[in-house]
Amino acid sequence: MIRIFHASEGVSLMEVMRREGTALNAPCGGNHSCGKCRVKILAGANIPVTEEEKRLLSEEELKEGWRLACSVYGPGEWTVEVPEQDKGARVMTDGGSADGTKLDPASRTACIRIEKPTLEDARADGERLGQYRLSLDEMRKLPRLIRENERLYVYELRRQTKDYCESIVSAEEIGNLGVAVDVGTTTMAAYLIDLQTGEQLGCASEMNPQRSFGGDVISRADYACESVENQRRLQTLVVSAIESMTRRMLKECGRDKKDVRHIYCVGNTIMMHLLAGLETGYITKSPFTPVYKYGFTVRANEMGMGLENAHVSLGTCVAGYVGADTLAAVLACDMLHAHELSLMVDIGTNGEIVLGNEKGMVCCSAAAGPAFEGAHIRCGSGAQDGAIDHVKIGNGEVTFSVLGGGEAKSICGSGLVDAIAEMIESGIIDETGRIDEDFLPEEYEDRLFEFEGNPAFSLDGKNENGVFIAQQDVREVQLAKSAIAAGIQVLMNEMGAEFDQVGKLFLAGGFGNYIDRESAVKIGLLPKELADRIIPVGNAAGTGARRAIKNAAQWEQADEVLPKCMRYVELSARADFQELFVEKMMFGEEEY
């Protein structure tokens, strides 16, 4: 895509691109540190190359015109080639199933035969409908509707314990479509469900357009906090993405947008707050408190969505870093109905961990950082075309598979875990995580090179021009995996449980689905005691959302029951976590 951008004095090219809605990958949020926001300048004002660009781009790249959008400042006008973002990105939309869920949605239609007013029956128009709560606007429509129609349709959203919102009245019968949305930090998935038949009519995914403002939730929350305008911008982006996914799914199955009645959104707490336009500044700072906990519902137009008959529900969040997506995943895994203990781990920027059974649960969030999502990893990327997703090292050989085939351009989370596990196995990395040139098996010596003053290991033999694992990358993985491992251990301690009591380890999320379980155990990310009980559940949050939208009781369970029987453990407040965190830093299965 080639476009022309104009930036006035002091404004970065990135800022202009953001404003004009050009998708841009910027995991560091524009802090000149990740090098992912590269664009090719074809013509325009000549702006000196910054130190950061020299560090993050190769000489050849600079010569070709590649620059970092965050480092090019106006005044100036440039003709820019923007690389197609996240080409062939894998978004996990499978996983579990909501097919078995009994169809009994909160979104209901009542067809009411209107008895015409007579002198003997001069009830008010509102009374002719029964006990529905109507807004003043709906009441204003009533007189004509009542008199011009034999029957009317009332659309309501009702759970057992909650008359959820004001109902909508209409003369024509519309469909009953539900959209379950998983608002991920990186990727968003949406499912269109016919709530009359239970059939899933479509599925769509999109990269979260907020990623131009940072790959992780913190950068986005920080950005949103700067001004009301920023907050509104992030809200608009995610709202538009939900709308566009919905439109796409509707188009594919030939349904009308007026049939959409309920949109149920889950996501982490910050995503939910950004979606609702609520302050996120206090979630990112200790003691990490959200504005809302219990889910709520508003009319779609209050959220800026052009879906006249729809209500939008935001799921309940447990704490600042255990969100509605976690509750939906727990729902999808039926953890509350199990007799034996089960563990659920969802690894993203934060690793949300839940342990429990029918008697109760504990949960926590371990700040794993975005290493497994490719950020902060020199050659890292999400699971997309050109990314190495699996690696084998042995007998002096490095073999790998590349998503979409072709030349390797990056390495995604599952590839990274494989690479580290294999490097440990092959003695390339020692137990402390060091790539030790002195002890390196000689058959791998030609793959070693120096990168920014530290050793790095080339996977494709092209050293810094190819895909490699730098020492710093190993450190990032060590930090990430020890956070998760320590989090799991804290919850086990909280429950006073031993691993042999844990029947299942549900591994949620895209990363959990693609990861090689053996490698995950090998690097100490997951406990070896549970190696044979690991069950990848894919996008369990999406599955839970679909269940909730199909069944009012399940929605109630996720929104009201689960959060009441789930105790949140704040890791940063616990001394034992710090200790375990350091302890788990080492590599090797014996650490668990």
Whether the Cβ atoms of residue 412 and residue 381 lie closer than 8 Å to each other: yes
32/273 with CB nearer its own copies: 273
Q: Tell me the two tokens of residue 307.
A: 């879906």
Rounded least distance, CB 259 to its own copies, Å? 25
- Tally of CB atoms within 10 A around 399: 11
Rounded least distance, CB 416 to its own copies, Å? 32
Binding positions for its own copies, rule: CB under 8 A: 117-127, 136, 139-140, 142-144, 147, 276-279, 281-282, 286-294, 296, 298, 302, 317, 319-320, 568, 570, 572-573
Rounded least distance, CB 585 to its own copies, Å? 23
153/288 with CB nearer its own copies: 288
Rounded least distance, CB 510 to its own copies, Å? 28
Q: Is 214 helix (H, G, I), strand (E, B) or coil?
A: coil
139/553 with CB nearer its own copies: 139
Whether the Cβ atoms of residue 543 and residue 98 lie closer than 8 Å to each other: yes
Encoded amino acid at 427, one letter: G
278/341 with CB nearer its own copies: 278
Rounded least distance, CB 320 to its own copies, Å? 7
Q: d(Cα 442, Cα 438) in Å, to the nearest integer?
A: 10
27/320 with CB nearer its own copies: 320
Rounded least distance, CB 132 to its own copies, Å? 12
**Buried residues in 547-560 as b, exposed as e (16+ CB within 10 A):** bbbbbbebbbbbbb
What phi, psi does 477 have (nearest 5°)? -65, -40
The per-residue DSSP string of 334-403 comes to TGGG-SSEEEEEEESSEEEEEEEETTEEEEEEEE--GGGGTTTSTTB--S-TTEEEEEEEETTEEEEEET
282/499 with CB nearer its own copies: 282
- The kind and range of the H/E element at 505 are strand 502-508
- For 51, what's the count of Cα atoms within 13 Å in the CB-facing half-sphere? 1
Rounded least distance, CB 85 to its own copies, Å? 32
31/161 with CB nearer its own copies: 161
265/525 with CB nearer its own copies: 265
Rounded least distance, CB 120 to its own copies, Å? 7
Angstrom CA distances, 550 to 266, 373, 461, 547, stand at 14, 31, 51, 5
Q: Tell me the two tokens of residue 167.
A: 């109902």
**Residues paired with residue 155 on neighbouring β-strands, in sequence order:** 109, 168
